[in-house]
Structure 1
């Protein structure tokens, strides 16, 4: 159905919304799909033209035959178009989640039950269709990648018998296959839901569908690939927010959507963060691939320079946004749309340049570290880990290390807002949060994190810290309570941070995860599913596996301890006795897991650890025994602390109940106590309490009732 028909079909909302945005009578709804097509064509043509120009250099460096014009032009063209489409999907779901307010429920901001507004529904549908289109592009990219890497024509690569070869032997083709799965799942679900509560889930799905592409390519191979992969992931995720968010705002403006000023303000904050993050991650990634003298002497270096100039130009256009178009939003929003269109066109051209970099070999480093260890984990380890030297070695983790810094800054900003409002806050919560952020950063960036991929014992130290210690500290910091204290509830029809934090603390997904049975199982099954199946060797041998494991450890532990001891609100508050019972039930499973590892005769991931060829003597069986002991000791210690915390809470709960009972007794002149004493007296005299109760119940009733 056409956007204009849908938007004009809701006449009351349209009239009110236009009044809010200051639209004059001449304003009319405009379709945005021609602009989407223009953005995709610009990105695709720039990528294809540059890749074609550098074709001979790329083929000679890779040592493969010319796959033909279809692959040579089609692969960069479709990849660039794919990134525009993926950005549109992310930006559209970002708009339906945070930029465009849903309908109110009985005049209130009830995000759990709210349905999308007309404009929000259009944004969500656009995101779903864009995800499906991205999935279709991913399917076509599989034979294109096969053709590009093998040198065979596209007509041969597309033959059915070659698809299985692509999935088995070509990592990039496998990545595109996963992209298609995630994209189709997100898009199909998005077509059938119109509730706000599902929009954050769809936004998450839109981000997930591009992650496989961030884990392959130049950055995921060779030395320092941990830096390369992590910086590329940040770069791609922030690019999606920057480009996609602006495209969603253009569509919102052309649909005459409500509260454009609020949407632009929220996007502006995200864009500022995205630009800064893209600049930092881009510089880190470029420095890993190009020396300064190569910037103007190689094609790859020239592409880096061109991309940098484009980003600077975008910064100038962004400044024009702030000074020219944003002040005119209430009265003339089309000025914003026109400048934004020009900005996205520049973004599309830069994206095309970035795509061509993916098909242009970077300069060969003067002193390449091609040792097996460097190729497997990204860097070399020269000394055996000890209790002391792991804290003197540092290699900043660009993923979780950055997350730790961002979490700390977020909390400090919330405290500053509370201080401005002269509201009190428990300083012990601040202590726990800061300790949690520091522990997270030290765990992944010190020698613990460096040795984690190389030895099982250090892997288990990091695992226990990330799943058993860091989550406890962060949970006790009560971040959602801080948000709801620092930010006032939004006006009806204008939800904000307060409402988002409230729905994060109480939603169907969290309610399911925090059911005691589900929560206990998910926390325990991480240990058994990872180490008692071949999954561990698959995960530990890939950088992507390390990233996934680390995030899963922290998330699983956070959910578990939030339900157990978290002061933040939760879907259902259970008694301390109930939580003590579930903790007592789970503790033997944790203890048994450590004992099982210590008795295990099979060496986990033996081939991978042997292949690293560490420069010190390593007894893999003994190292695994030590890892099992670490799991047993360090796993039980936090649980005992939590047990003590819950037991203390139970005693405090009982004391409060006693005080409440005594207060109620004094208010009723101890009537309950007197009745209780009378009952005891009758029992001591041998009276039949059931007979007494029967007589007292029916003595005032009609004799027929007694019969």
Structure 2
């Protein structure tokens, strides 16, 4: 238990030192809540972070690295349940401390205090956020004890991640320009830092149960840790850039704490590299060939490095808790100075330059979620192709080119000029929608990622599930068989247009950043399913004959074109109180009609490409079938044809 103790001690000491240095716990001039609240609130938030890390890290390790056939699996879920319980208590304490800090109320057990606290938790967004986190953490605590099914644990892990969403929405920049970017960066930072720290903590607690399986589990955890390190580094940089502003601000107390956290992150990266490149191989060799003494020495070195690594993680966690109470160089009230136009009031962002065709390629509004998704998608795809080539297998070059092009297009649509202008111009929004639902899937589907994963990822034989097992399980699940059905995919593709734009969903995606991310994922997935049902290479439960595929395509796109025409001919503005206030003197109705024209015309280009591809596949299928019959005839000497002719002759003789 030396590792967890070192983590906790270093984290608390670093938090206290960071608060003392930055003045984050200094008395307030007005409504000072007292030293118990000033020091107790960041300490409680530290335990929130540690509890969330243990909960998410243990669940990720159980889902990805451990086998349900081994005692290690149940032990990891016990760690997750205990960590979720810590998160529950710490979140409740943080909610109380936050109430005392915001209101300046003295702690009291009377009815009036309870009513005010209840109103804070149920009516004020900040209180609602902490109440939500507390309730979700409590639910995860129970589920970790009750659920032991490997597949069901995925949904428990998703619920555990959802518990961090309210925390991500409470960042320093919650009211300032760059709020959406701040929420995304902080959310990614919290989730992947939790998986990284919690996974290592779980390994330490399970060391007695792993035994000879330590090298295998450690290698699987190292993959998670490497991905987490990259995401934490990128999201941490984005968060710091939003909150610090210019380089000279690094000399402020907030900047100094950020530098300390960066130094701890670099040290952790070096530990991870040492672990992956040297230590795992040494332990594996000791277990396999060098005997018990060599293996024991390797494990001893490993656990020593783990304790040191947990110490640095404690430093990073403590600095994060101190940063949460330290004033940022970029003020949270910066958004007030931006409220010059209705567009800036609604979005909280400075109005970008007036658009022209060139600015769609020069303006940027980065979305870290989709930039990282595109980057990892390209890397793992190329790694899979390289693995196939190294063992002598072939993989068509055109598939790789299309996959990379599709993900690069996804990165541009979600982070380039379209993303910069879609909040202000309906036409930009519709252009992005058409590319997400039709343009990008037409490039991604021929890349056949499921087929590549099934061929390139190693199969596991110990009962655990890696990338190959989870992908194939998802593809062959009953849910996938329903949504991948060509008719269902077509209904989702075309029907969601009408449901989305003529329901409150459209407004939700404009006002809420989470709604915006849901919109991107929804359009991308429905478009992918529809294109997959027409020209897909990856395995699906059922495929229509080629003739019916063409009929389905033409029918669906006619429905799609009718939607575009309805927008073009509309005399009212969709979300008039939003798009009607946007732009640079732009006529909102004309811009909306332009968006309808984009939906009607741009959609025809992928339609033609899909129709040509279906026709080509149909032709190749007929050619393959003809060649198959010719080969069969050559092997059997046209026995089927001779038998058929003999039968006809017998019938003719009988009739005669």
TM-score (norm 2): 0.84
CA distance change for structure 1 residues 645 and 141 in 2, over 3 Å: closer, same or farther?
farther
Gap change, CA 1:661 and 1:239, over 3 Å in 2: same
Aligned with 1:293 (options 218, 238, 248): 248
Gaps of 5+ in 2: 288-294
Separation in 2, partners of 1:72, 1:406: 41
* Maintained 8 Å contact 2:172/2:332: no
Q: How many Å apart are 1:388 and its aligned residue?
A: 3.6
Return the alpha-carbon distance in structure 1 between the equivalents of residues 212 and 532 of structure 2.
37
> What is the match of residue 338 of structure 2?
371
How far did 1:362 drift? 0.5
Cα distance in 1 for partners of 2:428, 2:57 equals 40
Once the two structures are TM-superposed, the CA of residue 636 in structure 1 deviates from its matched residue by 4.5
Render the CA deviation track for 1:354-404: whole Å, top value 9, x for unaligned.
122122221246995731356754653443323343123344443312322
Alignment match of 1:350 (pick from 299, 316, 320):
316
Task: Confirm or deny: 8 A CA contact 1:456 1:623 kept in the other structure.
Answer: yes
**Is the deviation greater in 463-472 or in 596-605?**
596-605
User: Per-residue displacement from partner, 1:468-491 (whole Å, max 9, x unpaired)?
Assistant: 211221121112222333344345
Q: Is the 8 A contact 1:376 1:542 kept in 2?
A: no
Pick the aligned partner of 2:59 from 93, 98, 105: 93
In 1, are the aligned partners of 2:560 and 2:600 still within 8 Å (CA)? yes
Q: Which has the higher helix share?
A: 2
Q: Of the candidates 523, 537, 542, which is equivalent to residue 493 of structure 2?
A: 523
Distance 1:315 1:263 in 2: 19
Measured in 2, the distance between the counterparts of 1:205 and 1:531 equals 28
Range that drifts further, 651-660 or 633-642: 651-660
Q: CA deviation at 1:658?
A: 5.7
> Is 1:208 the equivalent of 2:147?
no
Equivalent pair of 1:48/1:74 in contact (CA under 8 Å) = no
Residue number in structure 2 paired with 1:280:
234
Q: Distance in 2 between matches of 1:309 and 1:43?
A: 15
Separation of aligned partners in 2, 1:274 and 1:194: 25
Q: CA deviation at 1:94?
A: 1.8
Judged with a 3 Å threshold, the aligned counterparts in structure 2 of structure 1 residues 507 and 385 are, in CA distance, closer, same or farther, namely same
SS in 1 for 2:540: coil
Q: CA deviation at 1:261?
A: 0.3
Instruction: Find 1:179's aligned residue among 123, 133, 141.
Output: 133
Matches within 5 A, 1:447-462: 447-462=417-432
Single out whichever of 355-364 and 495-504 deviates more from structure 2: 495-504
Gaps of 5+ in 1: 1-31, 103-114, 688-707
Moved more, 368-377 or 236-245: 368-377
Matched residue SS, 1:256: helix
Q: Is the 8 A contact 1:143 1:163 kept in 2?
A: no
Paired residue for 1:420, among 363, 366, 390?
A: 390
Matched residue, 2:435 = 465
Q: Which whole-Å CA distance do the structure 2 matches of 1:527 and 1:339 have between them? A: 54
Provide the secondary structure at the position in 1 that maps to 2:151. helix
Aligned match of 1:54: 23
Quote the offset at 1:243 in angstroms. Answer: 0.5
Shift of 1:506: 2.4
Residue number among 407, 416, 421 corresponding to 1:437 in the alignment: 407
TM-aligned CA deviation for residue 461 of structure 1: 0.7
How far residue 494 of structure 1 moved from its aligned partner, in angstroms, is 6.9
- Tell me how far apart the structure 2 counterparts of residues 58 and 618 of structure 1 sit (CA, whole Å): 50
Which of 235, 240, 244 pairs up with 2:198?
244
- The reply to whether residue 126 of structure 1 matches residue 76 of structure 2 is no
Instruction: Note if contact 1:396-1:444 (Cα within 8 Å) is conserved in structure 2.
Output: yes
Residue 268 and residue 636 in structure 1: after superposition, are their counterparts in 2 closer, same or farther (change >3 A)? same
What is the TM-score when the length of structure 1 is the normalising length? Answer: 0.78
Matched, 1:151 2:122: no
The aligned counterpart of 1:72 is 38
CA distance in 2, matches of 1:516, 1:463: 21
Partner Cα distance (1:136, 1:56) in 2: 22
- 1:443–1:656 Cα change, 3 Å: same
Separation (CA, whole Å) in 1 of partners of 2:395 and 2:644? 41
| CA distance in structure 2 between the partners assigned to 1:623 and 1:66 by the alignment | 52
Q: Aligned residue for 2:640?
A: 669
Q: CA distance change for structure 1 residues 555 and 154 in 2, over 3 Å: closer, same or farther?
A: farther
The 3-state SS of whatever aligns with 1:669 is helix
- Other-structure match for 1:195: 149
Q: Given that residues 219 and 285 in structure 1 are in contact (C-alpha distance below 8 angstroms), is that contact kept between their aligned partners in structure 2? A: no
RMSD between aligned residues: 3.8
